[in-house]
Amino acid sequence: MSRMEELIEQLNKYAYHYYVLDNPIISDGQYDKLYDELAALEKAENRVLPSSPTRRIGGEPIKEFAPHTHLNKLYSLDKRNSFEELAAWDEKIKKAAAGDVEYTLEYKLDGLTLCLTYEDGYFRCASTRGNGTVGEDVTAQVSTVKSIPLEIPFKGVLEVQGEGIMRLSALNEYNKTAKEPLKNARNGVAGAIRNLDPKVTAKRNLDIIFYNVNYKRGGDGKLLSSQAECIEFLKANRFKTEMLFCTKSMSEIIDAIKNVDKNNLDFLIDGMVIKVDDFALREELGYTDKFPRWAMAYKFEAEEAVTKLNDVIWQVGRTGKLTPLGRLEPVELCGATIKNATLNNYGDICRKGIKIGSTVFIRRSNDVIPEILGIAEELDGKEVPIPKTCPACGAELYENGANIFCPNDYGCKPQVCGRIEHFCTKACMDIDGVSEKTIERLYDTLNVRSVIDLYNLDKDKLSMIEGFKEKKTANFLSSVENSKNVKLGNFINALGIPNVGRKTAEDLAEKYKNIDALAGADMESLLSVDEVGDIVANSIISFFEKHKALVERFKEIGINPQYAANSGGILDGLKIVLTGKISMPRGEATAIIENLGGKVQSSVTKDTDLVIAGEDAGSKLEKARKLGVKIIDDNEFKSLINS
């Protein structure tokens, strides 16, 4: 028995460090060994102590959810949708308080409210909010959440409230192997908690973040007097919390809300919560029927919507890959009218069970094209037909993995134009003045069929193209001429080798120093390059087998770049992070930084030398400030690169 107690204490401590503090102190293997020892002892003794971690695996399915009466009513939150309304609320609160008011700022977590009861230091039961007074008992399901403490230092009666969530990383992991992928993290958590079989819940790897002490009696006998103290109390009892800060300034809160970088969090939020910190003032302000008057949610605009899928069309990209595009019944999302959304590839359509005529969930994040997440309601949907011939050129298509391809590399217009467009971008040959429209005109009028043809254009030919007046023609021709001095990494990127992006192109340039060495590289040699695996290596080998003539043609034109290490640029060796909205496309900013010798990182670390923060920069900017990293804005960045 004493060994069992000892093991439970150790295992719970390790789990706390791993799941709550995010700072493991032993290896998984060591943990598993101790866990197995405990499980064996429990079997031999036929006894499982109340805080044993073996209780987390999820017991037998239950027949129904029993009702659970909360010790105190669970309130919901009133909400505001604009900063003006929020400021007006602040004025009202300050008037009632007859002075300044300290507020706390928290995330409004988008999951499922859960209420956990502890007695004598042990986890006793968990319930959903229900109607605020009576919820459903979900103890068996919540027991499987590895981050909740099964035993706490507080020895009285305690009810704590938090939000059950599924982390986006957990959702991703789950969907990698799931037969039926989850549409989103909110459905993921709600479905898992309201599932009668706790083993299903356990598989979802849920988490709970706590924000409220709903009831507290006995134990240390201390009264909590503020939200900050409440969060400290929760932390001291090993609950996971996420409070941001306290302040008396509503404009500081509004600034912080503007700066929240939702896309950098590992959980969904649908707004922010502002709470009066002082409990005595809360008492004075009181409650309406449904809401506390001392708290307010600021709701973000919805990023997901449901609408009807009217049709699916197929678009051909530069690699010949067909991408399905959903035609939607127009719907408002984040202040824009959405008519199209992507479905990634054919495999994605099958996995999500998408049918034409059904209603679908769509999501939009930042400025990327909206995505269809899954079916909302099946209705009388019809299967999405697999195209057999290319919608652009009529060639017979072939399947490769989850994708469908058009084999007609040189005779399929969108493929040819897509390759030319890619070739001309800043991160490739940096040829100016070639929009998608221009490339189509070059294709239609001047018979441009390959990137090589760009080097045979002249004034006379270009005069046949709409928009090519004298100045534009001169600029274009000199830009084409200048492109012959391209750097090796950009040139490799420009070739458009399938599966080779900008970063890999740069790594290949560094390793092989010229195109002949790369074209002659074998499997073993390629695999020694950072992040190059079988697929990429094969792709490179077969590209050069197929395109020997192309490389020779480039040489004839005078394009045969040799690798030169970046040096002497004004950003030489600097590690730089871009965040927020800047006034040029990210790809372009990255190319400029690299041309000046800098390296672009995706996240701010202590090694970061410089952060370029555009409008609406969020958590990366915050982190840079915390770490004391040098920060410049969009205008300073522009003058820096122009210098």
- Residues with catalytic annotation? 108
Inter-residue contact 600 to 593 (CB < 8 Å): yes
Quick one: which H or E segment has residue 489?
helix 488-494
For ligand IVH, which residue of 141, 143, 201, 212 counts as binding (CB under 6 A)? 212
Q: Calculate the alpha carbon distances from 310 to 88, 342, 358, 625 in Å.
A: 43, 13, 8, 47
CA distance 505 to 491: 8
Site size for ligand IVH, by CB under 6 A?
14
CB of 209 to ligand IVH, least distance (A): 8
Task: Tell whether residue 133 is a contact of ligand IVH (CB under 6 A).
Answer: no
Listed ranges 104-112, 230-238, 430-438, 459-467: which one lies at the site for ligand IVH (CB under 6 A)? 104-112
- Is 292 a binding residue for ligand IVH by CB under 6 A? The answer is yes
Q: Contact between 128 and ligand IVH (CB under 6 A)? A: no
**Segment (H or E) for 329:** strand 322-333
Closer by beta carbon to ligand IVH, 108 or else 321: 108
What type of residue sits at position 143? S
| Segment 178 to 207, residues that bind ligand IVH, using CB under 6 A | none
Residue number, 276 or 373, with CB nearest to ligand IVH: 276
Let me know how long the chain is.
643
For residues 49 to 78, the per-residue mask of contacts with ligand IVH, x marking binding by CB under 6 A and - elsewhere, is: --------------------------xxx-
Residue 512 CB burial class (10 angstroms; 0-12, 13-18, ≥19):
buried
CA-nearest of 545, 82, 452, 90 to 294 is 90
Q: Report the first-to-last Cα separation within the chain, whole angstroms.
A: 73
- Whichever of 297 and 341 has its CB closer to ligand IVH, that residue is 297
Does 295 sit near ligand IVH (CB under 6 A)?
yes
**3 state DSSP class of 459:** helix
488 binds ligand IVH (CB under 6 A): no
Between 273 and 577, whose beta carbon lies closer to ligand IVH? 273
Interaction of residue 127 with ligand IVH, rule CB under 6 A: no
Does the protein bind ligand IVH through residue 211 (CB under 6 A)? yes
For 155-169, the three-class secondary structure string (H helix, E strand, C coil) is CCEEEEEEEEECCHH
Q: Map residues 249-288 to x or -, x wherever contact with ligand IVH holds by CB under 6 A.
A: ------------------------x---------------
Region binding ligand IVH by CB under 6 A among candidate stretches 108-116, 382-390, 456-464, 555-563: 108-116
Is residue 226 a contact point for ligand IVH (CB under 6 A)?
no
Query: CA–CA separation, 73 vs 290, rounded Å?
Result: 10
Binds ligand IVH by CB under 6 A, chosen from 297, 338, 406, 416: 297
**Burial of 301: CB neighbours in 10 Å, binned 0-12, 13-18, 19+:** exposed
For position 163 contacting ligand IVH by CB under 6 A, the verdict is: yes
* Amino acid identity for residue 555 in this structure: K
Give me the residues that bind ligand IVH (CB under 6 A), please.
75-77, 106, 108-109, 113, 163, 211-212, 273, 292, 295, 297
